[in-house]
Structure 1
Amino acid sequence: MNNNIYILGIESSCDDTSASVICNGKVLSNVIANQEIHSKYGGVVPELASRAHQQNIVPVVQQAIEQANINKEDLSAIAFTRGPGLMGSLLVGTSFAKSLALGLGIPLIDVNHMQAHILAHFINDEDSRIPNFPFLCLTISGGHTQIVKVTNHFEMEILGETIDDAVGEAFDKSAKILGLPYPGGPLIDKHAQLGNPKAFSFTKPKVGDLDFSFSGLKTGILYFIQKQQKQNPNFIEEHLNDVCASIQYTIVEILMDKLKNAVKKTGIKEVAIAGGVSANSEIRNRLQLAEKHFGWTTYIPKFEYTTDNAAMIAITGYLKFLNKNYSDVSITAQARLKVTE
């Protein structure tokens, strides 16, 4: 009797089509098809995204199953992203997962994309530590910025969140102001590593202890650049590394200030990061320093589990499978979904 639990995870919330097979918590495959088409528009175009998912989903799932070295008949359940995300994109993954689960006669498991970012920390991997409950997770991406208290795999509470824009958007918009191509967050990080973070100073927004705000910072950066360019049209070219370093330093300072407040308020010193922006080198460095300075235990995900990927969907599906927490075939995709839902 084979006691292995094989979960196929399907992720299609935005512009990457991804499929992953996990066996007993270990990743056997994690295939991601990126959509190049959006870069020329400077952002994700929902209609084009859903069309690309329709083209990618069959080959991506096929590849994930082949790389895992199993047959689709070996699968124990199928997990898919229910939301939050772009409706058209979510529908492609949802309907495909439903049909496949029905065809194979195996359970269907819906996954909350934001929970999955956090639960990526529970992927069974020799190189990574698994957080102890309760822990705090700073979830940072293009669409989200929040501090979540995680009591167990499926009990989460939002302690603070952004009142306007997400941190990933602040990085991308700042990059756009500097004339860098989309997605600009990773490029700011790259230039920042060559610059002086104290070269220019930007005002940090004043909001509640655990809440975030980035719209004022973006406006401040825009006015600063416009003013400098009036005096010197070549300002960006001459100071790009320093400007990027200063922007990144300010954004990471804001994130760290709020995390410190959350640790003080809750007394929880187990701190994790998750989401696309957790790939940022500065936030990773600062978290590692916090272990030394404040005695925190920090959990930093592997790079391949930071951006949208199906391994995080599959691990969440696995944890739900162990609890027999299955979905009904009538379940629908939800463009808006809180991490606590």
Structure 2
Amino acid sequence: MSLGDARAVPWQAAAPLRVLGIESSCDETGIALVELPDGVAGTQPAALLAHALHSQIDMHQAYGGVVPELASRDHIRRIVPLLRQTLAEAGQALDAVDVIAYTRGPGLAGALLVGAGMACALGLALGRPVLGVHHLEGHLLSPFLSADPPQFPFVALLVSGGHTQLMRVDGVGAYTLMGETIDDAAGEAFDKSAKMLGLGYPGGPALAALATQGDPKAFALPRPLLRGTELDFSFAGLKTAVWTQQKKLEAAGTFDATRQADLAASTQAAIVDVLVAKSMLALKATGLDRLVVAGGVGANRELRRQLDAQCQRRRVRVHYPELHLCTDNGAMIALAGAMRLRSGRSQPTTDFHFDVLPRWDLASV
């Protein structure tokens, strides 16, 4: 099929629909091939044919955080080898792809441009249309690739590195924001607290690992905005409280390995308590009996344990993405693109003049 043919004929979703997903919003380069059968989006199981992922954690550790320019250059180095790896594992050629989906935003501008440029170059060369996808929508829909996929409608708790949001989800593209962070996100609270405690990068997993050795009740840290029916989040005050407590211990000469673990456990307990309580409030407010948890923080084992317990008590179904799909990845972008196309919420384009949206409100999608 030539490029001219692609533009002349109105696009129709193939059955099955094969979507190549490209993720490059921050510090992971992800490529995946997802197949969605015919039918209404969300009612038929999607198949992850193959995916490949490269994390830049080792590269950024020396700086204690993501360096945007280094991230962009590394995406350029990794993206073609990962594409070849994915196609080889799927046993497919490039011409088996129907649509190429890429992360349009939000994220780091330079990193996003790498994925967008790759997608549009492939689309132009193959005569295949492309579709820009919202990064958080990818996280939101990623549990549909799990062994226990959800059904619409549901309440979604989105907890990625820079975002903490509660959404009512009535279908693909039908999202109502119920609450969000007014300052630091939960992931930022994990990472910044870990940095103050002298833990490695990335801080969240390091703090969670140390917390298993400590007493979560050792320190009475604040649970911001926990009273009443408020669904917004605030974690900046918790970060300050962790810093203040650590300084008190250091001044008293008692900040040893045991107290470090106790402070890590108390910090995690405060974050998890807020996330769980707000999620239960959102379920009560909507009257829904299904919760979806997505994003990198959704891999936290203590968060999952407490959500499982609370949802079981309330007879609520809770769904998570597979652990290996909690972080940024190409599979969630391919799936989100496929579900938007199958539901009629989006149409791909063969106009390869692309842009990216480093800031992009999910409720506007």
**Which structure 1 residue ranges, 5 or more long, are not aligned?**
none
Is residue 18 from structure 1 mapped to residue 41 from structure 2 by the alignment? no
Deviations 1:89-129, CA, capped at 9 Å, x for gaps: 00000011001011111111111000110111112x4xx22
Alpha carbons 2:225, 2:232 under 8 Å: kept: no
Deviations 1:233-259, CA, capped at 9 Å, x for gaps: x51423232221111111000111111
Aligned partner of 1:330 among 350, 353, 365? 353
Aligned partner of 2:148 among 122, 129, 141? 129
Write the distance in 1 (CA, Å) between the matches of 2:208 and 2:281: 25
Write the distance in 2 (CA, Å) between the matches of 1:276 and 1:196: 24
Counterpart in the other structure of 2:223: 204
Counterpart in the other structure of 1:47: 69
Aligned partner of 2:239 among 200, 218, 222? 218
Is residue 29 from structure 1 mapped to residue 58 from structure 2 by the alignment? no
Which has the larger displacement, 238-247 or 274-283? 238-247
**AA aligned opposite 1:224:** Q
Alpha carbons 1:50, 1:88 under 8 Å: kept: yes
Distance 1:132 1:23, change over 3 A: closer
Distance 1:335 1:236, change over 3 A: farther
Counterpart in the other structure of 1:107: 129
Is residue 240 from structure 1 mapped to residue 257 from structure 2 by the alignment? no
| RMSD of aligned residue pairs (Cα, Å) | 1.5
- The Cα shift of 1:192 comes to 1.4
Q: Pairwise mapping of residues 59-138 of structure 1 onto structure 2 (< 5 A)?
A: 59-123=81-145, 125=146, 128-138=147-157
Write the distance in 1 (CA, Å) between the matches of 2:210 and 2:139: 27
Write the distance in 2 (CA, Å) between the matches of 1:27 and 1:236: 46
Alpha carbons 2:117, 2:354 under 8 Å: kept: no
- The Cα shift of 1:290 comes to 1.6
Q: Sequence identity of aligned pairs in percent?
A: 41
Write the distance in 1 (CA, Å) between the matches of 2:283 and 2:132: 31
What TM-score, normalized to structure 2? 0.89
- The Cα shift of 1:40 comes to 0.7
Alpha carbons 2:99, 2:129 under 8 Å: kept: yes
Write the distance in 1 (CA, Å) between the matches of 2:188 and 2:290: 27
**AA aligned opposite 1:338:** D
Write the distance in 2 (CA, Å) between the matches of 1:249 and 1:206: 15
SS of the residue aligned with 2:51?
A: strand
Deviations 1:280-315, CA, capped at 9 Å, x for gaps: 001110111023211111112211111000000011
Write the distance in 2 (CA, Å) between the matches of 1:183 and 1:269: 34
Distance 1:10 1:150, change over 3 A: same
User: What is the total number of aligned residue pairs between the two structures?
Assistant: 336
**Which structure 2 residue ranges, 5 or more long, are not aligned?**
1-13, 37-45
Is residue 142 from structure 1 mapped to residue 127 from structure 2 by the alignment? no
Write the distance in 2 (CA, Å) between the matches of 1:276 and 1:253: 17
Counterpart in the other structure of 1:183: 202
- The Cα shift of 1:320 comes to 2.4
Write the distance in 2 (CA, Å) between the matches of 1:290 and 1:74: 44
Structure 1 segments, 4+ long, off by >3 Å, are none
